[in-house]
Amino acid sequence: MNAATLSAPIRFEGVGLHTGADARMELRPADPGTGIVFVLDGVRVPALADFAQESPLATVLARDGKSVTTIEHALSALLAMGVSDVEIALDGPEAPILDGSARPYVEAIATTGLRESPHARPVLEVTAPIELRDGDRAVIVMPSDAFRVRFVGDYPAPIGTHYIDIAIDPERYRTEIASARTFTFLRDVEAMRARGLARGGSLENALVYDEDGPMQPLQWPNEVVRHKVLDLIGDLALVGAYPRCEVIAIKSGHALHTRVARELRKRG
């Protein structure tokens, strides 16, 4: 597995899910060893758990007074599609939500193509199981010769309980995970707006459940837990290496995932 970057820059523009702010984002080719680095107004913020802030709704990175939120979908696509080195210039406080999934990133990466380096991609090998818990949420990371995720999501009705077990490689990620959308309950949207969140959210960029069920057609019966895998992969990108391990996640979210990434960096 070699390090790789994009063969040309990729640009996105759009509204942020939580801030509602418009932002332009450019993913630029970078030298081997760069890792994934955000460039915010001249401040370089590596996409590593060391710079992550606790946040239940999105992944936030911060350094020297600059911060960026909702970066997990971009990070997820980059990690899964094999992009180890890239600079991401962003001129707003939040990455564009686009269609709420990682599909626009994956399609752009696939169309643009990768430039492989002769150097090896950094890989995280786990030698003994690691378990982190937060109440009834848990993440267990186990040794494995491939990256595999099993996720149990459990939500109030009408979402219910969903499960997925998937070995992650670029093709499976592209066809089975990337298109799964951000999801929310309609009843939570007003509460989030009152707290200044979800300002950019709409039926165009999020799967919304009302009391009876999904308000839009589902792409898979378990689309919700597929999106949880998408988010988990984005948070694991904060390890700074390809996670060659098996991850069992039960009801976990960004806060616990960030703790896992931090723990893995300590041990890696």
Please identify the residue of the shown chain whose CB is closest to the bound Zn ion.
Answer: 231
Stretch that binds Zn ion, among 19-27, 123-131, 156-164, 174-182 (CB under 5 A): 174-182
Whole-angstrom distance, CA of residue 152 vs CA of residue 60: 24
Catalytic residue among 162, 227, 254, 257: 254
Stretch that binds Zn ion, among 172-180, 192-200, 223-231, 260-268 (CB under 5 A): 223-231
Shortest separation between residue 241's beta carbon and Zn ion, angstroms: 22
Per-residue x/- track, 38-77, Zn ion (CB under 5 A): ----------------------------------------
Structure tokens of 87?
A: 């600079």
Q: Are residues 241 and 265 in contact, defined by beta-carbon separation less than 8 angstroms?
A: no
Angle at the Cα of 122 from the Cα atoms of 251 and 181, rounded to 5 degrees: 35
Is residue 156 reached through a cis peptide bond, with omega within 30 degrees of 0 on the bond before it? no
Here the tokens at position 193 are 């707006």
17, 206 Cβ separation under 8 angstroms: yes
- Among residues 34, 50, 121, the alpha carbon closest in space to that of 86 is found at 34
Catalytic residue list contains 227? no
* Binding region for Zn ion (CB under 5 A) out of 110-118, 179-187, 208-216, 254-262: 179-187
Minimum CB distance to Zn ion, residue 101 (Å):
8
CA distances from 167 to 142, 148, 182, 206 (A): 14, 4, 21, 25
Q: Which is nearer to Zn ion, 85 or 235 (CB)?
A: 235
Residue 261's closest CA among 87, 46, 90?
Answer: 46
Q: Is 231 in the site for Zn ion (CB under 5 A)?
A: yes
The CB-of-220 to Zn ion minimum distance in angstroms stands at: 16
- Give whichever of 59 and 84 is closer to Zn ion, judged by the CB atom: 59
Residues serving a catalytic function are 254
**Binding positions for Zn ion, rule: CB under 5 A:** 182, 231
